[in-house]
């Protein structure tokens, strides 16, 4: 998949089914804070489909991307013909520029009630290779780019650094990546690394999309952990990673500020900060 040919979308906001009812409506944000966002990233699973919010955005002909919430990229055959056909149909309705989603486990076992989860892949070479095969199959079947995203977790298994894992995936697919800076910050904390550990060997030219999101530091029985709760303020580690990667990702097309659960007034300043960093990036 030729990532250089993908459109440049700019700054986006995330949404999921029903998120606009209690959080931010992207059309209202666009109206009340002109220039804040350029596109919408919709987190979707086939069980729920679209809500009225994303339908309104789509009917306005505005740019969007499709973020799946029900596909296990760690399983070569999880994207069956039925899933592919229905997802492609929704992505087409949305006018999505590409598909993306956390590369790991969105359901354990069958795609059935009670089986929903989000777990990272086991960070091994054979898992990375299987993910690459799944992505290649999906891209062939849909004709759309599929950007795998590094997931958040309190537990990571496997002997590879997560950056090396997704680097291997990208080298096998020849395609792009979605680097979630908040999720990477979580991983580095879990492993006791500095925020930028292992990024020196990371294929920055494969980064098509970046996520920035707030997280909260919590403690469970004395164990510190970070809640990926999409609160307004990203951790300093997240900002550090974002600024570092933005300066080096010459094929970067989009940045999503995952803040859909908050009030516009609580995130306005960060949209400006993100746009300033985005605008200062070197152009290839």
Partner 1 sequence: MSHHSLQKALVVALHDGEFVARMHSEPDQALADFDLSLDERRQLLAIDRRALSIDRMRSRRVLKAISAELPASLTIALAHTRRFATAEGFFASARFRRAIIDETSLVFALADYLSDRASELGHELLDGVVAIERARARCRRPEPGRSGLRLADGVALIETTAGTLAALHAAESALFEASLVAHMALCDDSPSLSFDHLIDETAVFLVVAARAGDVILEPVDEPLYAVLSAVEQASQRGPIAPSAMAGLLADIGLRVPDPDQLTRELCASGYLRD
Please, is 84 exposed, middle or buried when counting C-beta atoms within 10 Å of its C-beta (0-12, 13-18, 19+)?
middle
Our CB check for partner 1 shows the closer of 153 and 184 to be 153
CA atoms within 13 A on the CB side of 89: 10
Question: How many angstroms separate the most distant Cα atoms in the chain?
Answer: 49
Gap between the Cα atoms of 215 and 228, Å rounded: 5
> Would you tell me how many other CB atoms lie within 10 Å of the CB of residue 220?
8
Our CB check for partner 1 shows the closer of 30 and 111 to be 111
CB of 121 to partner 1, least distance (A): 7
CB of 215 to partner 1, least distance (A): 14
CB of 157 to partner 1, least distance (A): 5
CB of 49 to partner 1, least distance (A): 15
Our CB check for partner 1 shows the closer of 31 and 221 to be 221
Our CB check for partner 1 shows the closer of 28 and 77 to be 77
Our CB check for partner 1 shows the closer of 143 and 192 to be 192
Cβ distance 70 to 106 under 8 Å?
yes
CA 51 to chain centre: 20
CB of 230 to partner 1, least distance (A): 16
Cβ distance 165 to 121 under 8 Å?
yes
Cβ distance 196 to 240 under 8 Å?
yes
Our CB check for partner 1 shows the closer of 228 and 260 to be 228
Residues that bind partner 1 (CB under 8 A): 74-75, 105, 108-110, 112-117, 119, 121-122, 124, 126-127, 130, 154-155, 157-159, 220-223, 225
CB of 108 to partner 1, least distance (A): 5
Gap between the Cα atoms of 128 and 122, Å rounded: 9
């Amino acid at each position: 998949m030729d990532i250089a040919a993908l459109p440049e979308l700019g700054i986006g906001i995330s949404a999921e089914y029903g998120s606009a009812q209690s959080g931010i409506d992207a059309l209202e944000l666009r109206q009340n804070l002109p220039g804040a966002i350029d596109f919408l990233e919709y987190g979707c699973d086939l069980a729920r489909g679209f809500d009225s919010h994303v339908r309104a955005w789509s009917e306005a002909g505005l740019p969007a991307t499709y973020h799946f919430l029900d596909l296990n990229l760690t399983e070569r055959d999880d994207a069956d013909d039925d899933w592919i056909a229905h997802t492609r149909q929704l992505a087409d309705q949305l006018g999505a520029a590409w598909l993306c989603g956390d590369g790991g486990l969105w359901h354990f076992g069958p795609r059935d009630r009670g089986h929903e989860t989000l777990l990272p892949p086991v960070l091994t070479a054979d898992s990375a290779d299987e993910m690459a095969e799944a992505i290649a199959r999906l891209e062939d079947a849909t004709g759309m780019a599929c950007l795998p995203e590094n997931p958040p977790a309190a537990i990571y298994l496997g002997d590879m650094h997560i950056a090396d894992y997704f680097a291997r995936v990208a080298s096998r697919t020849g395609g792009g990546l979605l680097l979630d800076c908040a999720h990477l910050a979580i991983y580095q904390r879990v492993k006791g690394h500095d925020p930028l550990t292992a990024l020196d060997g990371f294929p920055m030219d494969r980064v098509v999309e970046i996520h920035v999101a707030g997280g909260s530091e919590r403690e469970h029985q004395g164990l510190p952990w970070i809640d990926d709760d999409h609160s307004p303020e990203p951790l300093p580690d997240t900002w550090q990673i974002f600024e570092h990667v933005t300066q080096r990702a010459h094929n970067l097309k989009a940045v999503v500020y995952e803040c859909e659960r908050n009030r516009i007034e609580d995130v306005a300043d960060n949209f400006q900060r993100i746009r300033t960093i985005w605008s200062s990036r070197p152009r290839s």
